[in-house]
Each structure stands twice: as structure tokens, then as C-alpha cells.
Amino acid sequence: MQGEVGDDTLYADWQAGNMSAFDALYARYRQSLYLFLLRRGHDRAAAEDIFHDCWLRLIRQPQAFDAGNFRAWLFTVARNLSTDRFRQQRRHADEPLADVNAAGDSCSPQQSAEDRDCIELMKQGIAALPLEQRDAFLLKEEGGLALEQLAQVMHTGRETIKSRLRYAMQRLRSLLEDCL
Amino acid sequence: MNQQQQQALRELYRQTRDEQPSQMLDRRIRQAARQQLLRRRPRWIWGLSMAAVLVLSFSLVLQLGVQDAGPPAEYEQELRKPLSSTTQEPPESAPAPAPASAPSGAPSSASRSAPGMKKELFRQSRQLADEGEIAAQASEQQPADSVQSRGAARTLDPASGQGPGDTMPAPKSQLAPDAVTRPVLPVLPVQASAWQALSSALTVIELASDRLEIVHKGQKILNLKRSEQGARFKAWPGSEFIGVKADWSVNRHQFSDCHTESGYQVCVWGGDVQAVFDGTRLDHLRWWQAQ
């Protein structure tokens, strides 16, 4: 990040009419935001849909972000939209949210570990994490958020975040022991 | 779990990062951002243009308001009152005065209202006004025969046997445009014989016992109504011959190019030079003074 133009600067430039600033900002978070949504448990279409809505909210309601950490704000919006989508899915399909949270459990990654490569196993392992641990892991890995920012985004304490991260890593390690 | 294992896990996770949003989605989002910027720009330009339009409209309305102001409404009413029942239309052979409600955009008026013409008229009016004042002062000092009509008017007063109340006082500020070449009347006679004696070019028609119509060269130039308080008159174009500058036929036209002079505001009104005092034409003041 050294020497890189800050998010706030790019955002302000875009607001001042500089489209290339938006392009730079978009390129910076394009993949990480999309992967965050995809790994959170959405299929590709839903992830793209939420991704689109998230950026449109920034574009059409720029006043929604007035100050603070742009990265944290962006991932907070994405997480909220994603949660709304989960709720809608549960309401329409009468599918309990717990099932979404435990989507990976049905894959029995441990049983099929031998047949799959480590990358696929990792994907399944993340999907199998409880949603709160998954969020903490993904927001840290994809969003690059620090503990304080994670606590702010997830509306919980710093120690809780640390615990969730620790449990997530432990579960992944136990799942991917053969790959490490 | 040690740091090495955590690092290995992260590395493994990074290898999973192979998916990307579609390029179509990228294009849609960038397009939306561009459109938003474009939408925001015209909003600013739109605001500026709206402000400009408002300012222009306001100034236009002001301008039109000034031009359409015309004479005061009560003036119009008073104009119609005094002689309306007895006023006769001028003979057909003579150019009829335009009606009081004549539209302001008459070509002749418009052409006469050209800036150069206005300046010239204003210059002439100033000159004539000055000359009129000089003549008026001179008439008080010189014998009655120095100015034929003025002398006639003075000789008429005793002949008519009318007191001061029967004659009309001269207006304060004379705008006598033909003060030098045409007779200037400090007062208007109220007797038909006095008018006949004033000039053989005048025809006096007694419309009623208290109403006169003065015709010059076949054209009605003045209606006069006597009353106990004095007299009131209405003048038409051509009345300059008897020193009455009262182009009332164009009194629908606008004030413009007003200048303050000797306490009076001299304006180009309907292409003619008129004096205005406190927003009222000097002729109007004359008319009131004649009452």
C-alpha cells in the first residue's frame, strides 16, 4: 500500500468528476469483494447480483459514505446485502438460515478429501465454516481488515473476532492437514 | 496453530482466488458510474442555465412592465370623462387621432421611437422648453403685441369680462414645442369670440352653451368645457398651433428615455416628447390645472 493513492483520495477524486479514480477504486476491490460474496456462500449469479447492488449503492448514493474507512464501509454494505439475500432465500424457499450457514457440512469434505485437490477442499472448508467464523476469515483475507475494523463491521468485540478467527483457522487446518 | 501453518493456510486460500466478476458486470458498473457523473454535471449546468433564464425573464418582465405602464388608470378615466358626451370625431378628411387605446407597437410610433429620433426629440424639447420659458418671461415684461397670440389672449381677458377663475393657469413647466413659431397661450380663452379673435385660421364650434370645439385646418384640435371652477380641455394633435402640447392620442404609449430636467421628468412617450411629473404627464397636470 506504500505509495498507493488512498481510497479516500480516489473516492473524492471520483466525486469531483474524475472517472479514472473510480476505475482505480473499482479495480482495487473488484475481485476481493466478489470473492467475499462468493465464499460467503452465494452462487455465482447471486454473488454478481449482490456485487452489482453494492457498487450501485456507492454510485447512486455517494452520500452514504461520508467519511471513515472506505474498505470497511464497502465490505459492510456487501455483508449486509448478502445477509438480506440469505434471508430472502430462506423466506422464499422456506430454507432455514442454518442450512445456508452449514452448506458445506453436507459436502462431507473430510470424506472426499482424498478425491479432491487441496484448493477445492479449501473452498469447501470455508463454505463449511459457521457464518460468523466465515465472515471473520473472509473479511480478514479478502477485505484486509484489521481486528478493530472487523469488530466494527461485525458489531462485536475485538476478542470475539480473535476467537472466531482462531476457530476458523483451526477448522481449516484440521480439514486441510494433508495439504499443509 | 503456529505461524507457519497459518501462513500455509493463507497461501492455500490465495490459490483459491481464481474467480472474478464477469467483464459484462464490470462494464455495467463502470457505465453506471459514468452516467452518474454525467447526471451530476448537467444538474450543475442545468441550475446555472435555470438561474440565467430566471434572471433574463425577470429583467424582461421588468422591461415590459415599464414599457406597458402607460399613463395612470385614473388618468385614462379622467381623459374620458370631461368631453366624452360632446366630443365629435374629427372630419374624415383630416387625419383622425389614434384612439387612446391604440396599440403601443404602431409602426409610426416605433419608427419615431428610434434612439436617434428620441434623442433628437428630446434635444428639441429641451430647446423648446427653454425657449418657452424665455418667451413666457419675456411676455410678462414686454408689451402685449410682442407676441401676437399672447397679446390677443391678454386682450381677450378683459374683453371677456372673465375673472381669474374663468381662465386656466399656465402650467409650471412649459413644454411649448412651437413657442417661437406658433402662438403660446399662457391661458386658454373660454369664450368663442376670444378664439375667433385669436386667429382667423381657427374655427370655433359651440357644441353647447358651455362647450367649445376648436378646429384648425379642418381638424379638431381642442375641446373646451367651461365650468364655474374654470375650464377643462382635451387636446388632439395639431393643438400645438394654439400652444397646447397635448398629444393625447398616443397616450397609450410607453415611457422611455426619461430624463429629469428642471424638476420635471422629460420622457419620450409614444415617440413624442412629453413632460412627466411624478409619473404623470405634464399634459395631465395641465388638464388638472385647467379645471
What per-residue confidence (pLDDT) applies to B230?
58
State the pLDDT at residue B165.
35
Residue of A nearest to B11 (CA): A180
How much is the pTM?
Answer: 0.46
Between chain A and chain B, the number of residue pairs with CB atoms below 8 A apart is 80
Helix (H) or strand (E) holding B130: helix B115-141
**Cβ contacts of A14 on chain B, cutoff 8 Å:** 33, 37
pLDDT of residue B130: 55
List for chain B the helix, strand, coil content (%; round to 5). 50, 15, 35
Strands B255-261, B230-235: parallel, antiparallel or unpaired by DSSP? unpaired
What is the side-by-side strand order in the sheet with B202-208?
A: B202-208, B211-216, B219-227, B230-235
Q: Name the packing angle between helices B73-80 and B282-290 (round to 10°).
A: 50
* 8-state DSSP, A69: -
Q: How many residues does chain A have?
A: 180
Say if residue A156 is exposed, middle or buried (CB neighbours under 10 Å; 0-12, 13-18, 19+): middle
Residues within 8 A of B (CB atoms), A 115-154 only: 118-119, 122-123, 126, 141
Q: What is the CA radius of gyration of chain B?
A: 36
Amino acid A48: pLDDT: 93
Q: Which residue stretches of chain B have pLDDT < 50?
A: 70-72, 74-76, 78-114, 132-186, 246-255, 262-263, 265, 268-273, 284-291
Please tell me the predicted confidence (pLDDT) of residue B194.
78
CA distance B27 to chain A (A): 11
Shortest alpha-carbon distance between residue B55 and chain A (Å): 28
- Helix (H) or strand (E) segment spanning residue A93: helix A70-93
Q: Which of B242, B254, B280 is nearest to B65 (CA)?
A: B254
H helices present in B69-83, as ranges? 73-80
pLDDT < 70 positions in chain A: 1-3, 92-116
SS3 assignment, position B211: strand
Which residues of chain B have a Cβ shorter than 8 Å from any chain A Cβ?
Answer: 1, 5-6, 8-10, 12-13, 15-17, 19-22, 25-26, 28-30, 32-34, 36-37, 40-41
Cα(B119)–Cα(B288) distance, integer angstroms = 29
Tell me how far apart the alpha carbons of residues B265 and B272 are, in angstroms, rounded to a whole number.
14
Say whether B16 and A122 touch across the interface (CB within 8 A): yes
pLDDT of res. B291: 34
Enumerate the residues of chain B whose CB falls inside 8 A of the CB of residue A34.
Answer: 19-21
Grid cell 433628437 in the structure block, residue: B120
Q: Do B277 and B173 touch, CB atoms closer than 8 A?
A: yes
What is the structure's pLDDT at B66?
A: 61
